[in-house]
Amino acid sequence: MSINERDQQVEGQLNRREFFKRAAVLGALAAGGVTMLSACDKGGEAGGDKAAAPKANAGGGGGGGELSCTDTTGLEPAQISVRESLNYVDKTEKPDQDCANCVLYKPAAEGECGGCATVPGPIHPKGWCSAWAAKPA
């Protein structure tokens, strides 16, 4: 069988090359759809970020009652990767830079983790990441 004959499609069947092209496109669309749905689930409304609050540890297990917003249970590996690549920490070492004074921070009720427009998952008001940007004065 010649290359041209092999590359020709029989009606109703895909050749190998066309199959992989379509599979790649569908995979990219599926990944994009998951990302879009996870963004819709967490943002937009003030109540959207409260889903992250139950994952926070408010000191219920022998801690000093301090708020912890490091639980990434429920996040996709790509979201955890974003969080790590932006160097998110629960407690800032920069006295004049914390999530509470960042333009990207989405506050929650007192004692609960907030959210962020850039960093997925629960965000501590005293946290920090490399995407920090000052709120306008």
Instruction: Answer yes or no: are the C-beta atoms of 9 and 2 closer than 8 Å.
Output: no
Q: Higher pLDDT residue, 58 or 70?
A: 70
Does residue 12 sit in the same domain as residue 54? no
Looking at the chain, the whole-number percentage of residues with pLDDT higher than 70 is: 59
CA distances from 106 to 9, 10, 28, 137 (A): 53, 55, 29, 17
Does residue 25 sit in the same domain as residue 83? no
d(C-alpha 89, C-alpha 101), whole Å:
15
d(C-alpha 120, C-alpha 4), whole Å:
49
Q: Higher pLDDT residue, 2 or 128?
A: 128
Does residue 131 sit in the same domain as residue 108? yes
pLDDT of residue 137: 79
Residue 42: strand, helix, or coil:
helix
Does residue 126 sit in the same domain as residue 76? yes
Does residue 65 sit in the same domain as residue 107? yes
Q: Considering its fold, how many domains does the chain have in total? A: 2
Nearest to 116 by CA among 86, 74, 77: 86
Does residue 68 sit in the same domain as residue 128? yes
Most confident of 12-21, 28-37, 57-66, 74-83: 74-83
Does residue 134 sit in the same domain as residue 103? yes
Does residue 94 sit in the same domain as residue 52? yes
Domain range enclosing 118: 48-137
Does residue 35 sit in the same domain as residue 82? no
Does residue 17 sit in the same domain as residue 79? no
d(C-alpha 84, C-alpha 80), whole Å:
6
pLDDT digits (tens, 9 = 90+) for 62-101: 344 689 999 999 999 999 999 999 999 999 999 899 999 9
Does residue 74 sit in the same domain as residue 103? yes
Does residue 83 sit in the same domain as residue 59? yes
Model confidence, pTM:
0.55
CATH number of the domain within which 106 lies: 4.10.490.10
